[in-house]
Amino acid sequence: MAKLLGVRGSNPARLLVKAGSRGLKVIDPRRMAAGKDATAAVARLTAPSAEVADIIYQYVFNESLAGRWQYITRIWVGVTNIASAYTCLKTGSTAVPTATFAWSATTGVIMRYNNVGGPGGQIDLNYDPSADFASIADLVCGNVCSGVGYTGSISAGAYTLSCTQNGLPSVYQNRSDNGERAILNGSTATLTLNPDEFNNRVFRIDSTAASIPRLRVDAEEALGTFAPFVPDPPDTCQIGGVNNGDNIGMYWKMAYFATADLEWPGFRDNTQNMLDSLRAL
């Protein structure tokens, strides 16, 4: 059969053949698995529109078919709809906002802080990365957000993703008027592009063998020089955080955690396309 179809070998895991009214149909097991992953992810959404469901389905299908979905441990997409903004597409676990935030189909969850009349608070991602990662070097994470604005001498932009281990900062990402800044294990990395260029962009924070972080967006990355002080992966993760009173707020769109084996360029581009498609609805 394999010879007839021009395929080397006869491993049934590589090739499935189904008889139909129009002859033999070759079924790719990888596409079947990708379809199952995509169907499961869409099923975790709550009352999505047909357009949102199609975009999420295609996104997860692409990630699974490319072999990246298996490396993602958690991913939340805040611009799906308000009912699904806090639902992890990979597991169905639910993040917990500590306040009732506004929501927009184009900007996602709108987190205004209490110093400008907003509800204050944060989003507890309800995720303990230390349960999945033995070392901080095994972990990559990031998110997408944009700043609401600022007044007076308050820094532009917004705090985004913060994680702690035993109460100490472990992973920390901040968009400010000086650029995008990340701390990983006490080491810092900063991108000094115009902060407006960071809006709606997918970031990645990871570490080198020396636990020095890399902060990536597109082809940009920077290395910090400070010694690490937290040896373990974080056990608590939030969007916003409690130390953001001097910022007005942000629009939060997505966050993710994955293993270091995640193929970054493909994930970044596919995720960026998914977010752009959702915002275009």
In our burial notation (b when 16+ CB lie closer than 10 A, e otherwise), range 190-220 reads bbeeebeebebbbbbbbbeeebbbbbbbeee
pLDDT tens per residue across span 20-66: 556 566 778 999 999 999 999 999 999 999 999 999 999 999 999 99
Answer for the pair 151, 239: CB distance below 8 angstroms, yes or no: no
pLDDT of 3 = 40
Percent of the chain with pLDDT over 70: 80
Mean pLDDT in residue range 230-258: 79
pLDDT tens per residue across span 170-216: 898 877 666 788 888 888 888 876 767 777 889 999 988 777 888 89
Range of weakest confidence among 33-47, 130-144, 235-249: 235-249
Give the DSSP letter string of 232-256: S--SEEEES-SS-TTS-EEEEEEEE
* Per-residue pLDDT band at 121 (split at 50, 70, 90): confident
Distance CA 233, CA 130 (A): 5
Answer for the pair 263, 78: CB distance below 8 angstroms, yes or no: no
pLDDT of 24 = 63
pLDDT of 80 = 97
* Per-residue pLDDT band at 17 (split at 50, 70, 90): low
Query: What's the token pair of residue 259?
Result: 């293993």
Give the DSSP letter string of 49-106: -HHHHHHHHHHHHHHHHTT-GGGEEEEEETTS-TTTTTBBTTT--B-EESS--EEETT
pLDDT of 276 = 95
- CATH number among 3.50.30.10, 1.20.810.10, 2.60.120.200, 1.20.1250.20, domain 72-262: 2.60.120.200
Whole-prediction pTM value?
0.86
Domains of the chain, by residue range, sit at 72-262
pLDDT of 108 = 93
